[in-house]
Amino acid sequence: MTTRTIITGTGHYVPPRIVTNHDLEKLMDTTDQWIRERSGILERHHVDAGVGTSDLAVEAARRAIAEAQIYPATIDFVVAATLSPDHYFPGIGVLVQAKLGLGTIGALDVRDQCSGFIYALSAADQYIRAGTYKRILLVAAEVQSTNLDFSDQGRDMSVLFGDGAGAVILEPNPNEDDRGILSTHLYADGNFVSQLWMEKPCPKDNPTFQRSFFDEGRFFPKMDGRTVFVNACQRMPEAVRAGLVQNGLAIEDVDVLIPHQANDRISLMVAKGLKIPVEKVIRNIDRMGNTTAASIPIALDEAVKAGRIRRGSLVALTAFGSGFTWGSAFIRW
Ligand code: COA
């Protein structure tokens, strides 16, 4: 059997400040009822001033490292996924590496938005199986609350998103058993770029930063919610089915499905489309909102800690997001 990649530690961190739907009612023309009914979200976490994505990532990474019971110095590569890096450049991979004191190991930044964790997991899996690296820290983190439009104009977006981070430690399976990442499937369709994006800043503008863009609110993320909704409900089941086919599995074999937490109605539609009992679906968007790349590793860590994922469990992950990008991963825990 070829060596598979196993996850030896998981961790997550969310900033302590909770923002409820009622808090948002004070900022814009919205209601707790609308947000609950349309998204399933009750509250989300927002950072306080001065806290960046790499800070959340480092906390999540420390927790995953502690759970894996490893010395940080034995990590030989970092993969980081985010759409909200601390700086325009460089990405957060190097900041995580430096803040954790990981020497001069390489740090790869992955930019695939809500699908970022699955894309990053796929890349890390290839490195491990090829023997290139032996212990990878994969961290996905987001600070979105600092660039959302909390006016009435931005209410369709700003009520959905939250801040947070999740991390995993990846290593080759040392044993002759079937544990590990079984498959990853990645997809994209760049024809949908402007359906879910942050248009500006855009270096093809000269100069990149123009006051009129601020005045027009073009530095805020925007989406066509309906199109995103419809495509997410279609693409995530497709990606899961591709994994089932490749692995010769049936949906009944899946013990736990973790869909990207975009909207609880989307998660329920994905479950329905796949005909998987809703009890097998991890849903934490009520407390987290949509944390983009961080949503799957946060949910994964919670599911592991709650005992919903155990040794031998078959775990399916699926995500959909800006790009559009989407994908799935199957893991024998
Ligand atoms: N509070 C109150 N009303 C709101 C609102 C808010 N926060 N946001 C939007 N509305 C209003 C709109 O202005 C619109 O009003 P109108 O009908 O008078 O024009 C109405 O609600 C839209 O209702 P509807 O089209 O029925 O909403 P919906 O059921 O499509 O839900 C989303 C909207 C955004 C929740 C939904 O489309 C969605 O979740 N899309 C996917 C978003 C997503 O997951 N993005 C990230 C992907 S990774």
145-164 residue pLDDT tens: 999 999 999 999 999 999 99
| pLDDT for the residue 237 | 98
76-106 residue pLDDT tens: 999 999 999 999 999 999 999 999 999 999 9
* Confidence tier at 1 by pLDDT (50, 70, 90): low
Q: Provide mean pLDDT across the span 173-184.
A: 95
Residues carrying an active site annotation:
114, 260, 290
| pLDDT for the residue 331 | 98
* Per-residue pLDDT at 176 exceeds 90: no
Q: From the CA of 322, give the closest atom in ligand 1.
A: 48
Spatial contact of 87 and 191, defined as CB atoms under 8 Å apart? no
What is the distance between the alpha carbons of residues 317 and 138, in angstroms, rounded to a whole number?
A: 15
102-144 residue pLDDT tens: 999 999 999 999 999 999 999 999 999 999 999 999 999 999 9
Q: Which of 322, 297, 262 is nearest to 113 (CA)?
A: 322
* Confidence tier at 53 by pLDDT (50, 70, 90): very high
Which of 21, 24, 32, 38 has most ligand 1 atoms within 8 Å of CB, for mutation? 38
- Structural domains in the chain plus CATH codes: 5-172 (3.40.47.10), 180-332 (3.40.47.10)
Q: Which residue shows structure tokens 């946060």?
A: 298
**106-110, strands of its sheet edge to edge:** 5-13, 164-172, 136-142, 77-81, 106-110
246 compared with 176, residue with greater pLDDT? 246
What is the distance between the alpha carbons of residues 293 and 297, in angstroms, rounded to a whole number?
A: 8
190-236 residue pLDDT tens: 999 999 999 999 999 999 999 999 999 999 999 999 999 999 999 99
**314-321, strands of its sheet edge to edge:** 180-188, 325-332, 314-321, 256-259
Q: Distance from the CA of 86 to the center of ligand 1, in angstroms?
A: 29
* CA-nearest residue, atom 20 of ligand 1: 156
| pLDDT for the residue 312 | 97
Q: Distance from the CA of 37 to the center of ligand 1, in angstroms?
A: 10
| pLDDT for the residue 2 | 76
Q: From the CA of 158, give the closest atom in ligand 1.
A: 7
What pTM value is reported for the model?
A: 0.97
* Per-residue pLDDT at 267 exceeds 70: yes
